[in-house]
Chains A and B, each alone.
Chain A
Amino acid sequence: MPRAEFLLTTGGGGPLREADVPAEVRVPLACHRPLVSAGDAVLAGQKLAEACEPGVGDAHSPLAGVVAEAGECVIAVRGEGQGQIKAADLSGLSGQDLAEALRGLGLDTAGLVKAEILVVNAAPPDIGACAPERLLSLFPETVALGLEAVKSVVAPKRTVLVMAHGLGAALKGCEMFTVPPYHPNGVDGLAARAALGRKAEGAVVVSAAALFHAGRIMETGLPLTEIYFSLGNGLVKAAVGSPLADILPLAGLSAGENDRLILGGLLRGQAARSLDQGLPKGTLALCLVPHGAYPPVADALCLNCGECVLRCPARIMPNMISRCAEFRLFERARQYHLEACVECGLCGYFCPSRRPILQYIQLAKFELAALDRLAAEKAAQEEAS
């Protein structure tokens, strides 16, 4: 019997609200090299920073104005004057050229590789993150446009649409599949697996929200500077980099002292560090968690009660993996099939010790990826010499 807290709501009742263009935006950067410096005048849509890693979208200014600050983590632009860059022409492009053009216009294209099967995941990937399904039901044409673009990159033989409620309009050329509307069924890996079984290995999974944003770029030819996400029971459209403090009032929310503001859903999202922080691209939801609503996370020892093991949808042992990561035995964590984790967050939800299990797992994955990279470099060097 699934728990009531895990019910993925449709968010169908709430309206689509549009946030005002803020006076100043703080565009967050991930691994970008700034192209502007403080004092430069920029047009709306002008590229602010270039991604240093493949597959990560470049950053653009959502408004015309003056660069107030250009740092490693954030570029602040103060609104001033008018002017917009010219729309790009994407009509003649396809395949990798199109992917590169979309990346240059701000879309994250890291997962888009050639594959036999493309899975469009419209099911909410987290509690409170119903944006993908809502966007599909509100803007089916835009999503279809995005799907067309992504299909041209992935070149799939089969396309499957996974939904939790069956509300959205069917996409042309997609097989439909519905999962029960409970977390973690909407997590990418699990949704694909529910639809395809073992064939899900090697399939490319894209969120319907990502398709929508790709569709917006295709429609307008303008860079991705506005995103749509869930807030409360509604949907919000806001400029990338809008201060979070400006967005909350749209749903009648206000953050109090020591509250938690979550960028993403309740179980998988990242906590915002400040209300002045700019809205990052790729946000699917904003959730406000009042102070003291849940027992605080603790640096406690594992009790070995087994709750995480019995709840894990990937059937791994989060108790052992988190212990391995705690004591920096990352290779040993790999033996416990760390890579099978879909990061649904259930282990931490049920942990009576309040251990940050998901964070330990993410740490182990990160460290192992770094170790693998080092080993590969070393092997390449030896081969060369």
Chain B
Amino acid sequence: MSTFSPPSPLLTVSAPPHAHCGRTTRGLMAETLFALAPAAIMAVLVFGLPALRVMALSCAVAVICETLCARAMAGTPAVDDLNALVIGLLFAFLLPASAPWWLVAAGSATSVVLGKMVFGGLGGSPLCAPLVGWAVCKLSWKGAMDYDLSMLSSSLTSPLAQLKHLGPQAVAGISLQDLLLGQQLGGLGAVQVAALLAGGAYLLIRGRLRPHIPLAFLAGTFLTALIYFYLDPAACAPPLFHLLAGGAVLGAFFLAPDCSSSPVGHVPMIVFGLLAGCLVVVIRVYGVYPDGVPFAILLAELLTPLVDRIRPRPLGVG
């Protein structure tokens, strides 16, 4: 064989397809951050600088942890895909604004290390990373994670804790508008319901988020709450209260649709959303924890591999 003389110009060789829609992982994460921004701003407006402190610390710890893990795993750090920032921010959204620094750091580190990196990085985790950190903190430091106990100086109350401990009469006076505008105690970002709805709508309109999981989640929550309310209006809160109190909206638009841990087909996504939404109310009614959203999503995610088996028949098979 003769050797090629260096051809002019050199071509790039690549695998097909040679065109691309232009939407990348980094873009997805950047738009998710953009969609979370209104809720972050509202959190600072409602809870003041402590909220900003928690969010900043959580994000910083998440990014540092991911870099260190990638080093230890001898891989290329991929923090520039912004996923660590999203995890850090979502974890901060679940904390009370008064969370001490060690709780924020421990939880954020757990989210990234135990919720993402031990499974090999982005896309490998069977559970939503921020929720893993949240669950570890919730079970380890009950007092610091309790919204009412840790926010004694605030004039606001946690409607879900009131519902749990004092019954539906205690929350009958809470206006839906207050709930929408974040005038409630809970995760500092999770309670900014109106801002989260705006962010979720942005992702839906941009096509970055498929509507199946969020809408099915909200529908599941609403319908289950409606059934309970219909069976015994005196013992249960109205369905709209369940949708707007606590972290249901954050769960529907940002936690449950987490890429790596949610199913991928049309029907599986709807089943998954309905299941998680239904579990939210079941846990709120029967569970020992006031808000059932994080545990409901974690439980539903355990069923993802099973739900994903609902597949249409492949072309030309059977």
Contacts and interface: CB of A to CB of B under 8 A. Distances in A.
Given A275-B11, A309-B264, A69 B315 contact: no
B288 interface: no
B17 A259 contact: no
Contacts of A306: 210, 259, 262-265, 269
Nearest to A69: B2
B263 to A, nearest CB: 8
Nearest to A260: B12
A214 B9 CA distance: 35
B4 A274 contact: yes
B122 interface: yes
Contacts of B259: 303-306
A125 B228 CA distance: 55
A267 B18 contact: yes
A266 B11 contact: no
Most chain-A CB neighbours within 10 Å: which of B9, B23, B124? Answer: B9
B4 A276 contact: yes
A257 B16 contact: no
B121 to A, nearest CB: 6
A268 interface: yes
A275 B123 contact: no
Given A274-B11, A340-B315, A267 B23 contact: no
B20 A294 contact: yes
Interface stretch (B24-32, B148-156, B186-194, B218-226): B24-32
Interface in B134-184: none
B12 A349 contact: no
Contacts of B124: 301
A193 B315 contact: yes
B7 A5 contact: no
Contacts of A275: 7-9, 11
A257 B53 CA distance: 49
Contacts of A231: none
A352 B13 contact: no
B313 interface: yes
Given A69-B2, A267-B17, A349-B21, A258 B10 contact: yes
B120 A358 contact: no
Given A260-B14, A273-B11, A189 B316 contact: yes
Interface in A303-319: 303-306, 309-310, 313-317, 319
Most chain-A CB neighbours within 10 Å: which of B24, B25, B210? Answer: B25
Interface residues of A, number: 70
A83 interface: no
B8 to A, nearest CB: 8
Interface in B15-61: 15-25, 27-28
B74 interface: no
A37 interface: no
A295 B311 contact: no
Given A267-B16, A271-B12, A340-B315, A301 B22 contact: no
Contacts, number: 170
Interface in A275-319: 275-276, 287, 289, 291, 293-297, 300-306, 309-310, 313-317, 319
A295 B314 contact: no
A39 B47 CA distance: 86
Contacts of A345: 16-17
A170 interface: no
A260 B19 CA distance: 11
A289 B264 contact: no
Given A295-B20, A303-B123, A345-B17, A258 B12 contact: yes
Contact of A319 (B27, B264, B317): B264
A271 B18 contact: yes
Given A314-B315, A340-B314, A358 B264 contact: no
B1 interface: yes
Contacts of A69: 1-2
B24 A257 contact: no
Contacts of B269: 306
Nearest to B261: A304
A127 B4 contact: no
B122 A294 contact: no
B264 A266 contact: no
A313 B1 CA distance: 43
A32 B17 CA distance: 28
A256 interface: yes
Contacts of A301: 120-124
Contacts of A300: 25, 78
A297 B20 CA distance: 10
Contact of A359 (B12, B15, B264, B265): B15
A79 interface: no
Contacts of B264: 304-306, 309-310, 317, 319
A137 interface: no
Interface string B236-268: 000000000000000000000001111111100
Contact of A349 (B20, B260, B261): B20
A193 B11 contact: no
A184 to B, nearest CB: 11
A310 B21 contact: no
Most chain-A CB neighbours within 10 Å: which of B10, B21, B123? Answer: B21
Given A269-B16, A294-B18, A315-B314, A304 B123 contact: yes
Interface string B92-128: 0000000000000000000000000000111110000
Contact of A127 (B19, B25, B28, B260): B19
Interface string A188-228: 01100100000011000000000000000000000000000
Nearest to A274: B7
Given A245-B7, A314-B314, A349-B17, 5 more contacts: A261-B11, A306-B259, A309-B265, A340-B317, A359-B15
13 contacts: A5-B21, A200-B316, A259-B12, A267-B18, A271-B16, A275-B8, A300-B78, A301-B123, A303-B259, A306-B259, A313-B315, A350-B23, A359-B16
Across the A-B interface, give the 9 residue pairs with the lowest CB-CB distance, nearest first: A306-B264, A345-B17, A340-B314, A359-B15, A267-B17, A314-B315, A356-B15, A294-B20, A337-B314
